[in-house]
Structure 1
């Protein structure tokens, strides 16, 4: 299941990585086949629009900004660690919005949580709220018709970022197009934003789907978002506008065809409402109602940490231009902050491929006495084994110079005890960095070449000892030996020695001499594919 192409939430991160790993020797054949295929005209006219910029005219704006009045220029933040709370926050902001909803996502799944959230968005549009939804096209597939139905509402616009000419579920036609136009199609919009009335935003690692909100019956992700209110939201909104008005954002009508008949639209909207209604009666939503967290968000009573912050957002590349060079707006700032660390650096990344330069930076810190701790996926917990292979080749060097490595122990429905925080899922998906307990980075970026050089990303840099304390505590809870495997060298300081993994099972110490809980097949596949895949595509 993990290796097939699909549109499920558990497959979406995987596909953009695999998309660049097909043999170049097939390009000539692919180009010939593509010449016979019909293509859509993707460089189409579009009407520019801009974010709502008067948040104080809305209830959300007045409520949240009043709480920031004593700290001019600063913004308020609340960590969304729990999947259900992250889901509730988005739903509450859709319910409270009066003027605008701007949503930007790498993937929108066809499942219960995403349908309920989109039903809330449609209800907002019916109240007169302007909705703009921008989705990366890689994972749209058969979801295209549903998104087109939403876009048929007069208050809703939907655009697809960097779309394929060949439509439908990801299959042979898309693979061939990718082979013939890989320079363009291998660059994806990985950003995740949910912005209400230009006043409050939710951003971080989560896409829209059951796996990200701990509602999946199969495999959940441990993830992290932050709710932001105040001046920084205007910067985040400007980032959304840059993407929305870029040539890469194509109106869905250009690929989905004519608007359906009114009767068909009414039926489709009623279907969304019916599916959403069924999920509202589920144990998941009933349990969430009891917490009243959504009400706290909607009424502006959610606890906030007030701090200075800046939004970091990559500039969207023009996929129809001759040159597709990209320069990260996040990684230079992140590296500068990390290199200035005096005491401690904490890194959380599901896909970690530091490269020679990254290892040099981390080892330089460790050698001058800075404590460096990293949480990433184990081979058993990762949903992208080939990327784990890219990380594994750097483990000995990092361990030898004193970097502490923790790999998530897989959880999920069969776990011995329920988990909280950064270890709550079967697979890690959270992205965060804490420097000296006060410089906090949270966003959509992984610490790998794909995020730094190919995909576009968005993040917040927040200067807050309180948020740093919260994340450091979460890291400590997530890296206890009943939650992770701690990787060590058999001979400390010797990068040429073998590795072992320490953990606790049933409160008893356990030592592994190879990647724990990973099947022999998975180990072999990771090594085989890791040897073939260019590191810059991981």
Structure 2
């Protein structure tokens, strides 16, 4: 290699050697021998907190059941997290795949900081792949006596992170996709939302239409135990072991940055919009109504990222067992839907048994990952031939102000990209969580969710699907010649498209090329 590249391109050999040296020297993770231990505080010990006093009478009226509230509206979802943090007196356990340094990300970090200043113990567990631009801030927060930050499956080389893939791809390809926010082991939020503006309707960009649930009752204890499992796992590294050491004044700078962010015009407009949240109004008025039902938590063993998974520890296996065998219907909402051949065969079998299968996913114009769409597109015909009803969320570009009114449904606003992950079985059981119906969720990433045994909430989700899918989505069908068609309904008007609507020929060709690549197992 030296003789060839050294003569023709003298600098190439040097660059390659430097890159390889960086990769090899930076791939070793530090030891965890000095990592401090901590566990969630039992709910019995937080019963006297403000949250505990508010929740205990409700839980006492529904022994064994958990209370659930849907958080469909983006503003409600932000308000719920902020209020839980403001209301916590003892602990905050927070776990996310993505946390961005934008309006909502900085505002929520500031809420956690203020809770720590009140004496609340804050444990923040973040996947290291989704915290771009936050290294200095997280390192500074970690110095607070009441805040501990851990990075899950971290990159040792911080910039550029992609160098880590040169020697550690098999490890770094696995990510913690879980999302949870738990206060005083009394109330928790789980679902599809990460912490970034596009999930909470902030800024001027498009919204990710998503779904979270606020939970109280016994399932919160299950979630806290699961957080402990991830917190103590072999992939959770203290921020101080990975991030550059902060300066003495860095925490003060973080606080000042948060104050400046809060005072900005865009943030002020957003906070005003959140103040009109229906969730916030109902909570302050004492009118927040929980639906009480048996709820169980399903999650992957964190050892999955290290290749130490067991069948029993796989969430996909737990989820299949918890949802049972469908007898009448399945209604599935997944932004990244790659059924694989095995999934198509399963749906074919269900349809032959008389089970109605309906699926909502993103159209090509609404999908934020074209390669994932390519993994799905090749299965559309087999699914339709099997009798599956297939809907793809439309995306109608438009400029909306930050104060925009967000629809209270799974589809979100007209400029949305679907991000909710939920499915219902037989009008009786409902799953909500982080799990996509794709190979990455099944085999590669870790996931988390709730199985809710509530006909009321299940039917609510199915009614939203029924009412909205034909209005905000294309229905994909086969014409008389067996070719795909997309039906767009605008009131009484019906438009039929013969190819993926809303995108140019170049993007459609790119998706076609991607569909032939042998990468389905990575999607």
**TM superposition score normalised by structure 2:** 0.90
Equivalent residue for 1:514, pick from 486, 499, 507:
499
Structure 1 residues 106 and 306: alpha-carbon distance in aligned structure 2, compared to 1, 3 A threshold: same
* Counterpart contact for 1:84–1:213, Cα < 8 Å: yes
Question: 2:333–2:423: 8 Å Cα contact kept in structure 1?
Answer: yes
1:46 to 31, 35, 51: 35
Q: Which runs of 5+ in 1 are unaligned?
A: 1-27
Contact 1:309 1:462 in 2 (8 A): yes
Structure 2 distance, partners of 1:180, 1:125, is: 38
Partner of 1:230: 217
* Matched-pair contact (CA < 8 Å) for 1:64–1:229: yes
Say which SS state the counterpart of residue 68 (structure 1) adopts.
helix
Superposition pairs for residues 126-525 of structure 1, below 5 Å?
A: 126-168=117-159, 171=160, 174-261=161-248, 263-278=249-264, 282-291=268-277, 293-294=279-280, 296-297=282-283, 301-317=287-303, 323-325=307-309, 327=311, 329-336=314-321, 340-411=325-396, 413-414=398-399, 419-425=407-413, 426-480=416-470, 482-491=471-480, 497-505=482-490, 507-525=492-510
Q: 1:77-88 to 2 correspondence within 5 Å?
A: 77-88=68-79
Match of 1:11 in 2: none
Q: For 1:339 and 1:438, how far apart are their aligned partners in 2? A: 11
Cα distance in 2 for partners of 1:138, 1:427 equals 21
Matched residues in 2 for 1:528 and 1:273: separation? 48
CA RMSD of aligned residues (A): 2.4
Gaps of 5+ in 2: 1-15
* Alpha-carbon distance change, 293 to 207 in structure 1, aligned in 2, over 3 angstroms: same
Change over 3 Å in CA distance of 1:469–1:29 after alignment to 2: farther
Aligned residues: 499
Q: Give 1:40 shift.
A: 5.5
Which is worse superposed, 155-164 or 137-146? 137-146
* Equivalent position of 1:115 in the other structure: 106
Whole-Å separation in 2 of the counterparts to 1:411 and 1:67? 43
Q: Distance in 2 between matches of 1:499 and 1:90?
A: 42
Q: Which residue of 2 aligns with 1:14?
A: none
Match 1:531 to one of 496, 516, 521: 516
Tell me the residue number matched to 1:97.
88
Give the stretch that moved more between structures: 299-308 or 438-447. 299-308
Q: Is the 8 A contact 1:92 1:297 kept in 2?
A: no
Q: 1:469 to 1:35 in 2, by over 3 A?
A: closer
C-alpha displacement of 1:70: 2.2
Partners of 1:526 and 1:30 in 2: CA distance: 36
SS at match of 2:516: helix
Superposed CA deviations along residues 40-95 of structure 1, whole A, max 9, x for unmatched, are 64333311111121331212122123112122111100000000000000000000
Cα distance in 2 for partners of 1:179, 1:281 equals: 39
CA, structure 1 residues 342+279, in 2 after alignment: closer, same or farther (shift >3 Å)? Answer: farther
How far does residue 514 in structure 1 lie from its aligned partner after superposition? 0.6
1:60 aligns with 2:51: yes
TM-score scaled by length of structure 1:
0.87
- In 2: Cα distance, 1:463 partner to 1:211 partner: 30
Q: CA deviation at 1:274?
A: 2.8
Could you tell me how far apart the structure 2 residues matched to 1:124 and 1:435 are? 40
Deviation at residue 329 of structure 1 after TM alignment? 3.4
> 1: distance between equivalents of 2:64 and 2:193?
27
Q: 1:440–1:121: structure 2 CA closer, same or farther, 3 Å change rule?
A: same
User: C-alpha separation between the residues in 2 aligned to 1:335 and 1:396?
Assistant: 25
Secondary structure at 1:423's aligned position in 2?
A: coil
C-alpha distance in structure 2 between counterparts of 1:259 and 1:455, whole Å: 31
Structure 1 residues 478, 34: CA separation in 2 closer, same or farther (over 3 Å shift)? farther
- Which of structures 1 and 2 has the bigger CA Rg? 2
Cα distance change of structure 1 residues 477 and 282 upon mapping to structure 2, 3 Å threshold: farther
